[in-house]
Structure 1
């Protein structure tokens, strides 16, 4: 394909698919190599327009959701989360409202759990302070919080197609810009669209290693002992393996500059979006099995919003044990029946950061994030991409682990 074509022309089919899925305009979607790099472009544009300041976010997340904040020079302001939504608690945000240079507030739909009511309250909090609402849809691609009608709530919405996300694509992401931003801040809107629309194409090496990723993992996972991990590290060091999280990304930096998407990534992402109905239907059914089978357990906490209304197509089903030993017993029991239970997000800023200073952890008042601390200690997440019979076995395994 002619390299003189713009990034938008190369991935126009993906933009059309995203727009059709979300009821938006294809012109407002901008595909990127990884969602974190799209966020980096957004924060750079915000800094250029409004100057440096604080971005309100949460510790119950992945470090790569905070890297774009700190690597562009913003100060992360950690609010506590609501144990029933796993997103920023508005009361906690109000207690931190002394921040007078707030530039943005992160609205994260952890595990794909979307609560429109609390999302609207958080958006109101942000807009009262003239801060942008940046929505993290990494776990719920194409599903977005809505206002009182059907209009997406956020100013900027970030979607990931990467490793251990809803789509089976392993790479790619997209940024959506709310068209109303053109009315409230036309210069920022123009800057965002210009920078995102002109991202360079990934290098040939990145194009190659992204294609190799699935087969590399298959081979490496079958090697005996610790040889698979050692070889993965070697391949990473010589640039022949693209890790989900680079070492630099645990130090408050990003591994590359912002890039667009290759046509191969775009085709895979488009196919994944075309198959989302079946994908989400399966996850809804499994979520409902977990919800119905575990709701009466008093020894664990299940976020309350999961219990309300129609089951959501969660990326993972979260539950929270009373302490870490109990969480580990649950994980071991579930894995024994073939369900790959996870520790997301234990430790905080998963999988844990190497340089706490880079993330502002050395000056954090822990009394302001006590709910987060309790959730981290007991975090367990159950797989939702399993068959219904296996989901039933996992319910039994959880119950037996805490009997």
Structure 2
């Protein structure tokens, strides 16, 4: 059965993928745990930038499956790198899982074992594996009543008297449980809800090579003028973010880790997910289904260079027919001509970001674009935008201005002039 509260403004293929994926998500019942006498908790190690090591084994180094990090039906992290014990601690501990440096996965993967904290009354000591040396997770642990003196970060292979392993209450590609939802209610239990009802979670202050979302400022501006409070989660304390989520009735943002903060919100709220790529957001769909969210997924991206992954090139947000339909249906006011005008600048900024990524060697060869593809995409821009507002001569004049802006970053004058002449010729012939 298709989720009645999922509203899709996107192409047919993407719509079908969203619906199929949603229907594959299952609710997990009857959470359990396992006990391992003389269990060994293995530190996190990343090998060859791909293979993640870190899990719990028995004293004979047999991997305990329930300690592994699963995504879908496969193990994402659950290998033994070194069959040695560096330290023995004569304590019974509860294993709280693996915590990544990535914020979204910290919430979705790391917090999936915290449900057991309130089920246990006898054991007071806990251990966890961390991808980094920073203890960024302590604030969440503290909100659940755990003291730092009872927390052991595993930075070497440690054998304990006994390790209790709670089953993961969430599998981000497959299933969720009531316990997972309840965990976030308890994390935010003592934090007062904000009185702000409409929140936009912005990525415009987020700066990471290859992850810039060009054009988002336009969406931010529109929603701000429609009564949304703009929030930059990475600049706020987690306590503030939780407060805003607890009070929100509508949460909007670019689909991704920022939107996972809805885990701290009440059930049955409204969310606007603005898609930045042609990818189904599996992680968010699980949250939607678990919390009975009335969700909107809007195709508002343009991919001059289709990504071979969901990262490593910039993203481009713009006014599409789907975004326009969404604005009309939700009665969101905006200036269409202004968006069209800004798109041309954003388009050039997208390629500037792209050129910087190539210069800094953040792309592999498969992701690089040819000059022929570049010309083709510029022609698409010329034909798609501004037509209903400008006559032909004004369009040509504007396009030449855009080309000048675009070519400024080419340091060799001869090449810059040659490309300018090439594009000018194309513009003059365009009818």
TM-score normalised by L of structure 2: 0.27
TM-score normalised by L of structure 1: 0.28
Greater strand fraction, Structure 1 or Structure 2 = 2
Computing the radius of gyration over CA atoms, which structure comes out larger, 1 or 2?
2
Greater helix fraction, Structure 1 or Structure 2 = 1
Q: 1 or 2 for the larger relative contact order (CA 8 Å, sep ≥6)?
A: 1
